[in-house]
């Protein structure tokens, strides 16, 4: 199947010319709207401060209720999700399309051998596979690791041998050192190699070996409107500590409840950063500008932004029945950096798709646009509000302040109490229920249920990260906080060096010591001349009384025991 040229599609050219990106935090219109809102709040607080605070509390409670109801509807819809139909595809099929696999790595020299080993086990013809290892030009450590592994470097289109399906692509200087910028550089190679599908894996990913074949079979059974398949992400180190357990259960609910609900309801899906399988033609259709800039290089969650652009262009995103195992963060410091990047990226994505609200609403649909922005912006906003209401609750129970009581009139108080009780109990039930259900089906990790009670602590820690992310966005100090990997490699049983079984009759070879090496031998000391071994006295033999002989009654004969059954031969 031929691929459209980058400039051949008029709708794509129009979209690339007008689609905004995250290089600017706030547009002029958004900045003006923020200033007007802050000015109105300041003026109202000057004249009616108590009424202003009460109205703000009521607005926050209404926001909580709407967000909770929307997430509840989406989660319930995800329970009855039916994945798309799939055609069985065999590895020897000569009509298999050319598939590209992008592996963006940065400062991952310790993970390179594991990543190459896992990707090399993918079940797909090597002559139809293009695996591109994306490394920055100044990442000398990772480049040296690639050279030690003998991975060839990309020499240009059309010069790839069948044995060189895995190549290193050096990212040139000039752009931001981010994952989306590296993938944009590789996108030009993907188009020149005439690949029909492309997927992305991170350094710690362990995809199922037949994941590419499943994706091709699903794409073949679907219409061209299906642009992306998102595989499930899970963790192999879920029981390391309470941090990994909560990450594991969060991913399990997200990929088995929440995303299926979005797909079933036809809402835009914020994609995950890995294990996305795309049609290359659809990516070119929604590219930001000519030249194949598909991903926004300035967006910290470029996957969520791409999912919104695909929905705007009329494409669908479905879930793939395949799992990619990942490594969960094992420390709260790693969680902090990761959450700062995610929450800042969600804010960027929401602000990008609200710069021209009327046009975005018309192209995406009013309901879909409202739901998407409520979900993508609602997460960070909820984490910003949670510590404030927790502090109000604690201060009230300690001081019984009437000032706090005045902030919650009857119309606000009862919905607030119901939301606090039902909402927290509902979240705890979902966590425990999913943990127990997963333990019964596959993992058998019932001991992780106790960690679900620490979810509130994790959410407060994420609130701290969200405040830092907002500060970095406002001050222009946004950076790509990289997540370190390799903490749980010892817990990955499949990729340990396994001992091969010894053949029958095997004995260890005896090698003589090298010349000059003195082997240690225990010193033999001669006994003294008058020494004799001590003789221990023999214990006396124990005397047992003879057993009493029982007399047989007259006329009674001894019972004859049947002979034992013949021994059956052992089963083959």
How far the first Cα of the chain sits from its last, in Å, is: 55
Under 8 Å CB-to-CB from 1, ≥6 apart: which residues? 97, 196
The residue that leads in pLDDT, 108 or 226, is 226
Residue 519 confidence class, pLDDT cut points 50, 70, 90: very low
In this model, does residue 238 exceed pLDDT 90?
Answer: no
Pairing assessment for the beta strands 316-326 and 206-207 based on DSSP bridges: antiparallel
In this model, does residue 505 exceed pLDDT 60?
Answer: no
In this model, does residue 256 exceed pLDDT 60?
Answer: yes
Give Rg (Cα) of the chain. Answer: 33
For 234, 248, 250, 268, 437, the CA distances from 253, given in Å and listed in that order, are 10, 9, 5, 18, 11
Rounded Cα distance, 30 and 110, in Å: 44
Residue 108 confidence class, pLDDT cut points 50, 70, 90: confident
- Residue 85 confidence (pLDDT): 92
Q: SS3 for 166?
A: strand
Task: Give me the percent of the chain exceeding a pLDDT of 70.
Answer: 77
In this model, does residue 566 exceed pLDDT 70?
Answer: no
- Residue 567 confidence (pLDDT): 57
Q: What is the DSSP letter of 442?
A: I
Highest mean pLDDT among 153-167, 277-291, 337-351, 483-497: 337-351
pLDDT tens digit string along 396-412? 999 988 888 888 999 99
Instruction: Calculate ∠ Cα 75-455-64, nearest 5°.
Output: 55
Describe the chain by its helix, strand, coil percentages, rounded to 5: 50, 10, 40
Instruction: Say which range, 48-52, 361-365, 486-490, has the weakest mean pLDDT.
Output: 486-490
Question: What's the predicted TM-score (pTM) here?
Answer: 0.79
Rounded Cα distance, 294 and 284, in Å: 7
pLDDT tens digit string along 309-336? 999 999 999 999 999 999 888 889 989 9
Question: Given strand 99-104, what is the order of strands in its sheet?
Answer: 166-171, 129-136, 99-104, 197-200, 276-279, 226-235, 316-326, 206-207
Q: SS3 for 196?
A: coil
Rounded Cα distance, 273 and 292, in Å: 18
Do 298 and 306 contact (CB within 8 A), yes or no? no
- Residue 39 confidence (pLDDT): 93
Rounded Cα distance, 344 and 468, in Å: 9
Task: Give me the percent of the chain exceeding a pLDDT of 90.
Answer: 50
pLDDT tens digit string along 172-211? 988 888 899 999 999 999 999 899 999 999 988 999 999 9
Under 8 Å CB-to-CB from 223, ≥6 apart: which residues? none
The residue that leads in pLDDT, 35 or 544, is 35
Instruction: Calculate ∠ Cα 483-488-493, nearest 5°.
Output: 140
Q: What is the DSSP letter of 448?
A: G
For 19, 37, 502, 513, the CA distances from 506, given in Å and listed in that order, are 69, 82, 6, 21
Mean pLDDT along residues 210-236 = 94
Query: Residue 328's closest CA among 527, 485, 103?
Result: 485
- Residue 22 confidence (pLDDT): 80
Q: Supply 417's token pair.
A: 């109490």
Q: Which helix (H) or strand (E) holds 324?
A: strand 316-326
Mean pLDDT along residues 116-126 = 90
What is the longest distance spanned by two Cα atoms in the chain? 123
Residue 561 confidence class, pLDDT cut points 50, 70, 90: low
Residue with tokens 């943990």: 435
């Amino acid at each position: 199947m031929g691929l459209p040229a980058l400039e051949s599609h008029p709708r794509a050219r129009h979209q690339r010319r007008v689609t905004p990106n995250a290089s600017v935090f706030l547009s002029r219109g958004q900045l003006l709207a923020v200033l007007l809102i802050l000015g109105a709040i300041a003026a109202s607080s000057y004249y009616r401060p108590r009424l202003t605070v009460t109205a703000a509390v009521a607005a926050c409670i209404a926001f909580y209720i709407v967000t909770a109801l929307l997430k509840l509807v989406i989660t319930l819809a995800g329970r009855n999700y039916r994945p798309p139909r799939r055609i069985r595809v065999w590895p020897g099929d000569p009509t298999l399309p050319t598939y590209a696999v992008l592996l963006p790595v940065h400062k991952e020299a310790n993970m390179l051998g594991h990543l190459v080993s896992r990707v090399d086990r993918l079940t797909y013809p090597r002559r139809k596979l293009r695996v591109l290892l994306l490394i920055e030009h100044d990442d000398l450590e990772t480049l040296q690791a690639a050279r030690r592994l003998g991975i060839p470097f990309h020499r240009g289109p059309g010069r790839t041998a069948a044995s060189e399906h895995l190549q290193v692509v050096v990212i040139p200087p000039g752009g931001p050192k981010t994952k989306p910028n590296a993938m944009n550089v590789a996108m030009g190679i993907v188009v020149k190699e005439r690949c029909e599908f492309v997927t992305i894996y991170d350094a710690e990913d362990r995809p199922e070996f037949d994941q590419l074949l499943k994706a091709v079979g699903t794409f073949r059974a679907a219409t061209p409107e299906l642009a992306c398949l998102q595989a499930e992400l899970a963790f192999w180190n879920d029981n390391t500590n309470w941090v990994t357990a909560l990450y594991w259960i969060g991913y399990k609910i997200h990929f088995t409840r929440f995303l299926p609900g979005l797909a079933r309801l036809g809402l835009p899906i914020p994609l995950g950063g890995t294990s996305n399988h795309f049609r290359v033609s659809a990516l070119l259709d929604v590219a930001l500008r000519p030249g194949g800039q598909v991903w926004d290089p300035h967006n910290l969650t470029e996957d969520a932004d791409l999912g919104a652009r695909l929905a705007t262009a009329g494409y669908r995103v479905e879930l793939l029945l395949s799992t990619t195992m990942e490594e969960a963060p094992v420390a709260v410091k790693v969680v902090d950096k990761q959450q700062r990047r995610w929450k800042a990226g969600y804010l960027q994505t929401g602000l990008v798709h609200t710069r021209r609200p009327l046009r975005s609403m018309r192209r995406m649909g009013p309901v879909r646009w409202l739901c998407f922005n409520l979900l993508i912006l609602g997460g960070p906003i909820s984490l910003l509000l949670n510590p404030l209401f927790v502090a109000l609750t604690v201060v009230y129970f300690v001081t019984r302040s009437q000032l706090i009581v005045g902030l919650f009139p009857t119309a606000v108080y009862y919905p607030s109490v119901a939301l606090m009780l039902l909402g927290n109990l509902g979240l705890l039930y979902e966590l425990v229920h999913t943990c127990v259900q997963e333990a019964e089906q596959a993992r058998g990790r019932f001991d992780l249920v106790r960690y679900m009670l620490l979810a509130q602590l994790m959410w407060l820690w994420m609130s701290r990260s969200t405040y830092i992310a907002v500060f970095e966005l406002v001050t222009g100090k946004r950076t790509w906080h990289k997540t370190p990997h390799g903490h749980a490699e010892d817990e990955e049983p499949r990729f340990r060096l396994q001992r091969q079984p010894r053949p029958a009759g095997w004995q260890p070879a005896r090698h003589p010591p090298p010349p000059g090496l003195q082997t240690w031998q225990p010193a033999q000391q001669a006994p003294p001349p008058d020494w004799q071994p001590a003789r221990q006295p023999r214990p006396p033999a124990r005397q047992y009384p003879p057993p009493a002989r029982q007399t047989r009654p007259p006329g009674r004969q001894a019972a004859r025991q049947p002979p034992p059954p013949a021994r059956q031969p052992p089963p083959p």
